[in-house]
Amino acid sequence: MLTEEQRKIGRRTFLKAAATLPVVGAFAWANRAKALHERPVQAGIIGAGSEGQVLLENAPMKAIEFRAVADIRPDSRERAAEVITTRWGNQAEMYGGDYHRLLEQDDIEAVLIATPPWKHAEMAIAALDAGKHVLVEKTMATSIADCKRMVQAARRNGRLLQVGHQRHSNRLYHTAWKMVREGKIGEVYHIRTLWHRNNDWRREVPDLAELRDLDPSFSPGKWGYGSLEELVNWRLYRKYSEGLMGELGSHQLDVVNWFTGTVPRRVTGTGGIFRWQDGRNVDDHVFVTFDYPAGPLTRTGLTVTFSSITSNKFDDYYEQFMGTKGTLILAGETQAMLFSEEEDEATAISVKKATTQGPVMEASASRTADASAGEATAVGTETGEPQMGRLEPYMREIEGFCAAIKFGTAVPCDCATALAAAVVVVAANEAIDSKAPRELADDLYVC
């Protein structure tokens, strides 16, 4: 555990090193803001729960305009419609579980999908076949085959498919990536990632009668859920999600793939339901180790570990890159710390309490405490630089999606990148379930 003084040293060292790097050009569309805002992309959203609400609340108003919402929960779609009216002044069309009606709207050119992952492939493919561009939340899908079907649908229809791994739209991570690739921490042989919490990962189940007061036809079973409990707490059931690996590990291991420029070839793991004997069937503790081949960071390969627990929050969450010249830690998506193996020189990223608190997600990274934890300077000096909020990457990823539609620029997280993250998640769960190593062949990553 680092002391506050050590954290200050690490933050200052990171900023000092960042000042020597060339400007990161990851957000090229930002220089075309006027053109991007001349005509907003017309969009609909499928899935308006906590994740969908965050996307709606943080979408750049001048770049995108929402026209419709589809969600099987009547309270979720009504809240979403209120946000759309408040932010854009539109009376949004509201659809229940029949999202195909939303896809039939001729005035919608793009669709954001923020449903439980088991529905991602079905909905994304339908939207792409309807001629819509798609931004779908992570994890891309719950099977590798479904991920590849989504890619094929995008290519078949000549439409964009972007996946919501938000760290690709985080300026802090782009600066850190450049730093690692420039050799600032030397060769990297070990990367440690973790996401630790002390809670049951449950959400309160609303009263069924109250939901039926809003919509008498509401029935979770009609849409494939075993109960209202399973609909609300879908993260706790393997039918609907990949559990801790999918909701948390996918974020961090996607970063590892990105920074190393490689993908793992072998995974071993263990886990289980150790604490919460409450009917869930996804593990509440997971521990996995990945073997990565040689690549831009190492000539011989490296080892990556990921752990996620629900019984202790001491370490919180971070990605730690351990190189021969130094260690880089990316903590809570808002702080970067650099520690030299030889010296303790430093300047600092400034961290301040957020002054406002928008909606927060409960799906994965986005609990209230996470989203309001603070803001951090991405690059530059300790003072005078723009501050980066915890939720800014959500705005940036949608802005990048809209720019790709209008200008043909690259999406922030493309299909190949998202597929690799999904392969890591699925393979890790298979290794945990089988209690045996899982070899990852080249063809798994080919889309």
CA-wise closest residue to 45 among 91, 110, 1: 110
Higher pLDDT among residues 42 and 388, named by residue: 42
User: DSSP strand E in 147-265: where?
Assistant: 161-164, 188-196
Q: What is the DSSP string of 360-385?
A: ---SSS--HHHHTS-EEE-SS-SSSS
Higher pLDDT among residues 19 and 321, named by residue: 321
Task: Please report which confidence band the pLDDT of residue 225 belongs to, taking 50, 70 and 90 as the band edges.
Answer: very high
Cβ count near 208 (within 10 Å): 13
d(CA 49, CA 114): 8
pLDDT at 372 over 50: no
The tens digit of pLDDT for each residue in 291-338 reads 999 999 999 999 999 999 999 999 999 999 999 999 999 999 999 999
DSSP class of residue 435 equals T
d(CA 95, CA 91): 13
Higher pLDDT among residues 110 and 344, named by residue: 110
Cβ count near 28 (within 10 Å): 12
Cα–Cα distances in angstroms (integers) from residue 365 to residues 55, 191, 389, in the given order:
14, 20, 14
pLDDT at 1: 74
Task: Please report which confidence band the pLDDT of residue 343 belongs to, taking 50, 70 and 90 as the band edges.
Answer: low
The tens digit of pLDDT for each residue in 389-447 reads 789 999 999 999 999 999 999 999 999 999 999 999 999 999 999 999 999 999 999 98
Domain boundaries along the sequence of the chain: 4-25+171-386+415-445, 28-167
Q: What is the DSSP string of 317-332?
A: EEEEEEESSEEEEEET
pLDDT at 31: 74
Contact partners, residue 144, CB within 8 Å, separation at least 6 = 419, 422, 423, 426, 444
d(CA 320, CA 311): 21
4-25+171-386+415-445 and 28-167 share one CATH topology? no
CATH class of this structure's domain 28-167: alpha beta
Task: Please report which confidence band the pLDDT of residue 49 belongs to, taking 50, 70 and 90 as the band edges.
Answer: very high
Supply φ then ψ for residue 137, to 5 degrees.
Answer: -65, 160
Contact partners, residue 222, CB within 8 Å, separation at least 6 = 72, 97
The tens digit of pLDDT for each residue in 143-160 reads 999 999 999 999 999 999
**Strand arrangement, sheet containing 93-95:** 93-95, 64-70, 41-46, 110-113, 133-137, 161-164
Asked if residue 5 lies in contact with residue 28, where contact means CB atoms within 8 angstroms, the answer is no
Asked if residue 150 lies in contact with residue 283, where contact means CB atoms within 8 angstroms, the answer is no
Task: Please report which confidence band the pLDDT of residue 388 belongs to, taking 50, 70 and 90 as the band edges.
Answer: low
When mean pLDDT is compared across 26-30, 233-237, 353-357, the lowest value belongs to 353-357
CATH of domain 4-25+171-386+415-445: 3.30.360.10
Asked if residue 74 lies in contact with residue 111, where contact means CB atoms within 8 angstroms, the answer is no
Q: What is the DSSP string of 229-257?
A: HHHHTGGG-TTT--HHIIIIIHHHHHHHH
The tens digit of pLDDT for each residue in 248-295 reads 999 999 999 999 999 999 999 999 999 999 999 999 999 999 999 999
Percent of the chain with pLDDT over 70: 89
**Strand arrangement, sheet containing 266-272:** 335-340, 326-331, 317-323, 188-196, 302-309, 285-292, 266-272, 438-439
Cβ count near 254 (within 10 Å): 25
Mean pLDDT (whole number) for 39-55: 97
- 3-state SS class at 50: helix
Contact partners, residue 200, CB within 8 Å, separation at least 6 = 276, 278, 310
d(CA 216, CA 224): 18
Cα–Cα distances in angstroms (integers) from residue 374 to residues 186, 356, 391, in the given order:
30, 10, 10
